[in-house]
């Protein structure tokens, strides 16, 4: 299985800050990467797919980049509703696998 490793596991930031989360794949996955946001007690929501394509309805402060093994999710200006957990997911090789999650906390 392809292992997805996110860093950091948690990050403390303030409203208005720029935050970057990294996801590294254990082998080349091209641009077959998605990012999800999950709030407590809720299902994940798709933010970005194909590494950098914003899903419909997702605010433009979210952006994604990368290819191969290294990917980033950037939130350009944190809003109060953005303090939650984010997951990356690869869909290059079955079984699809997720990163362990990154929690964005209020500083």
Partner 1 sequence: QVQLQESGPGLVKPPETLSLTCTVSGGSISSYYWSWVRQPPGKGLEWIGYIYYYGSTRYNPSLKSRITMSTDTPKNQFSLKLNSVTAADTAVYFCAGGGGPWYFDFWGRGTLVTVSS
Binding site residues, partner 1, CB under 8 A: 32, 34, 36, 42-46, 49, 55, 87, 89, 91, 94-101
Of the pair 42, 60, the CB lying nearest partner 1 is at 42
- Using the minimum distance from each CB to partner 1, give the nearer residue, 16 or 40: 40
Q: How far apart are CA 83 and CA 13, in angstroms?
A: 9
* Rounded Cα–Cα distance for residues 33 and 81 (Å): 23
**Tokens 């933010």 found at:** 47
Question: Minimum distance from CB of 62 to partner 1 (Å)?
Answer: 15
Task: Give the whole-angstrom CA distance, residue 34 versus residue 23.
Answer: 10
What are the Cα distances from residue 103, in Å, to 50, 52, 57?
A: 22, 21, 22
Report the residue number, 62 or 87, with the smaller CB distance to partner 1: 87
Residue 4: CB minimum distance to partner 1, A: 10
Closer Cβ to partner 1, 42 or 80, answer by number: 42
Q: Are 62 and 81 in contact (CB under 8 A)?
A: no
Residue 76 beta carbon to partner 1: minimum distance, rounded to whole angstroms = 22
């Amino acid at each position: 299985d392809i292992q997805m490793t996110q860093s950091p596991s948690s990050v403390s930031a303030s409203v208005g800050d720029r935050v970057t989360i990294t996801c590294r794949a254990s082998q080349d996955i091209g641009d077959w990467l998605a990012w999800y946001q999950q709030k407590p007690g809720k299902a994940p929501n798709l933010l970005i797919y194909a590494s950098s394509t914003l899903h419909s309805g997702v605010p433009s402060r979210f952006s994604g980049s990368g290819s191969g093994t290294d990917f980033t999710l950037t939130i350009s200006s944190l809003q109060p509703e953005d303090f939650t957990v984010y997951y990356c997911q690869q869909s290059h090789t079955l079984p699809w696998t997720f990163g362990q999650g990154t929690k964005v906390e209020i500083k």
